[in-house]
Structure 1
Amino acid sequence: MTTHISSITLPAFVFEKPAVSLLLPVVLGNAVGLATRLDPNSKAYKSLKQPPLNPPPYVFGPVWTALYLSMGYASYRAWNAGMSSLDMEKVKLAKDSATLYTIQLGMNLVWMPLFFALRRPIEATVDIVALTGAATSLACVYGRIDTVAGWMLAPYVAWLGFASYLSAGCGYLNNWNFTQDITKDE
């Protein structure tokens, strides 16, 4: 379990305000996505061997947006349920979960640049597997504070498991070596 570390945790107002809680992961996720955007019709993208069950590229944007919204609302809900509780254990869990949320969000945002911009499939796969563990832990902590908040992360954890398979599968099928610059359209 993570302990609250204020120096690396998003400020409390992020969790206190529903609009901020909802929009922060969406805005950051989309910003990273746009910064490392890869044209699915480019030769570079098409040259990557993909594992079975790889969805079409147009699926990822809407899925991630929905997951970011759910993640953001779960953080708002767990924080407010914990911080307004008379149970001091729930207050502590809410603070601890804010640190874990911040860490997992950072890990989430790092995957795309690792995989696409830096062409580091091994590091990207390690990141997403660790992220899946962190998100699973976060769902468990949220569940101890507020059952609904915990369950709201279930689709996110499931998708991260699938995304881990895709990351590892693509890395493996391409010999863990993306020699081509896959961030540029050729």
Structure 2
Amino acid sequence: MTSYIPQLTLPSAIFNSAPASILLPIALGSAVGFSTNRTSDQKRQYRALAQPPLHPPSSVFGPVWTLLYGMMGYASYRAYQIGTSASTILTAGPDIVPTTYHTSTLYTIQLGLNLIWMPLFFGIRRPIEATIDCAALVGINAYLAYTWGTKIDQVAGWLMVPYVAWLSFATYLSFGSGYLNEWDFSEERIRKGEERRKAEGKDL
């Protein structure tokens, strides 16, 4: 996929600290969510637009993402610590270190892709780009889960599995919402959705 790129990788100080690794994605995700919500009415858009089957209430996303951010942050910490430790190098060989650095770059890239999804979907209302972004996240994180789990640390790999599963579900929701609304999240489309819900007697 890519090699180790220092300019596109979080500082080693982040990966060397469990609290920093856990709290950074939570803090960044919360900041993006707050800033996006200030410039767009997420709940209004989510309720007004047609949604695919099995879509959860909007209140579910905040707690789920917070938990998953913490889990993936801890996974990155474990993978980096174990992948660069002397004992692991002795047992797995020196090639484990480049693999660890390589995955730390991928982890950083996927974090950036994750953080731009909400502005794409709710902020500038670009469902096609948001769905592509989400699909890319599934691929990158499936690779991370596999590589960490099979080459560095099984716990780190398993910690990523719920994240990959949720990203797959999120891709389905993103695609389904885009498809059902003809890939049009314009204000006119949202207004028509609100009118339809009112006619159906549903609360907005």
TM-score by length of 2: 0.85
Deviation at 1:39, TM superposition (A): 4.7
Is 2:3–2:105's contact at 8 Å kept on the other side of the alignment? yes
Tell me which residue corresponds to 1:93.
Answer: 99
Which structure carries more helix by proportion?
2
Gaps of 5+ in 1: none
**Alpha-carbon separation, structure 2, partners of 1:163 and 1:153:** 15
**Alpha-carbon separation, structure 1, partners of 2:182 and 2:49:** 10
**Alpha-carbon separation, structure 2, partners of 1:72 and 1:81:** 14
Instruction: Give 2:186's match in structure 1, choosing from 176, 179, 183.
Output: 179
SS at match of 2:107: helix
Moved more, 81-90 or 130-139: 81-90
Deviation at 1:46, TM superposition (A): 2.3
- Equivalences, count: 181
- Quote the RMSD (CA, aligned, Å): 1.5
Deviation at 1:58, TM superposition (A): 0.9
**Alpha-carbon separation, structure 2, partners of 1:180 and 1:32:** 22
Tell me which residue corresponds to 1:52.
Answer: 53
**Alpha-carbon separation, structure 1, partners of 2:2 and 2:94:** 17
Tell me which residue corresponds to 1:11.
Answer: 11
Tell me which residue corresponds to 2:200.
Answer: none
Deviation at 1:146, TM superposition (A): 0.5
Which 4+ stretches in 1 moved above 4 angstroms?
none
2:117 maps to 1:116: no
Deviation at 1:32, TM superposition (A): 0.7
**Alpha-carbon separation, structure 2, partners of 1:39 and 1:104:** 23
Gaps of 5+ in 2: 191-203
Q: Which structure has the larger Rg over C-alpha atoms? A: 2
Tell me which residue corresponds to 1:67.
Answer: 68
